[in-house]
Amino acid sequence: MNSSPGTTRKPVYLAVYDTLADWETGHATAQLARAGYPVRTVGPTLAPVTSVGGLRVQPDLALADVRPSDAALLILPGADLWDAGDDLAPFARTARAFLDAGVPVAAICGATAGLAREGLLDDRDHTSAVSFYLAATGYGGGDRYVDTDAVTDGVLVTAGPTEPVAFAREILRLLHVYDDEAVDAWYRLFHDSDAGAYAVLEKAGVL
């Protein structure tokens, strides 16, 4: 683990909004929290939101109060609202501010379409559910689309809705939460149910 007792880490901001996809960020936030990163939920306002699975979340912060300098990472989960209008566009604009400041952003599923509409994928390698899903946004980055489970380009991570474990893997690598051997073992354990990965993770102090 890339940490030591007493290490103070900046918080990870997890965006939350109505219809957010519950399953897409749990692996990432659980491992980050275990590694000492405070996880703070960020809503459009401080009003409670409800996930697609019926989970009611009370945001810790309103989006207007978020500053890139205060954070280690911004995570944008998918949600039906990404494709239902402009309600979540402010989160994409916040992602632009983070990227401009060199602070990591991780977007999965519908959030990738939000970033595409904001122009943030035009010049960065990225992935999503399928290429034509992003093409429907009219964005200019089709030639940078990579047909794989998850992609990191600089400080931006993208993934499709069926790849929450790969999404977490890229985040763990980007933030150097664990060394490469431990991240690979963690991925094998949670994606492939590889029992042989336990020994590596125990040695690294991950489990």
| Catalytic residue numbers, as ranges | 109
The residue type of 166 is A
Q: Are 116 and 137 contacting, i.e. CB atoms less than 8 angstroms apart?
A: yes
Task: Give the CA dihedral 122, 184, 7, 32, nearest 10 degrees.
Answer: 60
Collect contacts of 52-58 with beta carbons under 8 A, ≥24 apart: 52/19, 52/20, 52/21, 52/22, 52/79, 52/80, 53/22, 53/23, 55/22, 57/16, 57/20
Can you read off the two tokens belonging to residue 88?
A: 């979540």
* Residues composing the chain: 207
Neighbours of 119 (CB within 10 A): 13
